[in-house]
Amino acid sequence: MKKQRQAKLVRELYELDHCFLSKKGVERFTKPFGFTGSTYLAKANPQDFKGLSLHDKDDNPIKEAIGQDASVVAIEIAGHLGVEVPTMLGRGSQLRATCSTILEHLNKKVIA
């Protein structure tokens, strides 16, 4: 049952392409794997090319937030599981490749 819950979370994380997760979001995705992922204080810079836009729960713009990029959360989960992931160019590609590798690993554990 634990592996099924973990797989469900990874499939959800897979869909969060280019997302910045709040501290609570990071905890939601990493605690079921037995650790708390890293976070940092991010500053919004939407004026920059491919800059970061941050919003509160009511979708109002905010200047800073504590959290982490979804692709980094996925990489940390893989590292915690001891799973090697390919290095990809771009956050979206990295997120999808990492989540796919984690899911393969979890499926092997369920089947074994």
Mean pLDDT by groups of 10 residues along the chain of 112 residues = 90 94 97 97 90 92 96 98 94 96 85 50
Output the six-digit token pair for 69: 């990029």
pTM: 0.91
- In the numeric block, which tokens belong to residue 63? 């200047």
Q: Supply the pLDDT for residue 110.
A: 52
* Residue labelled with tokens 């990874």: 10
Q: What is the pLDDT of residue 111?
A: 52
Question: What integer pLDDT is reported at residue 46 of this predicted model?
Answer: 86
Q: What are the beta bridge partners of residue 40? A: 67
Residue 111: C-alpha distances to residues 36, 97, 108 (Å): 27, 21, 5
The pLDDT of residue 61 is: 94
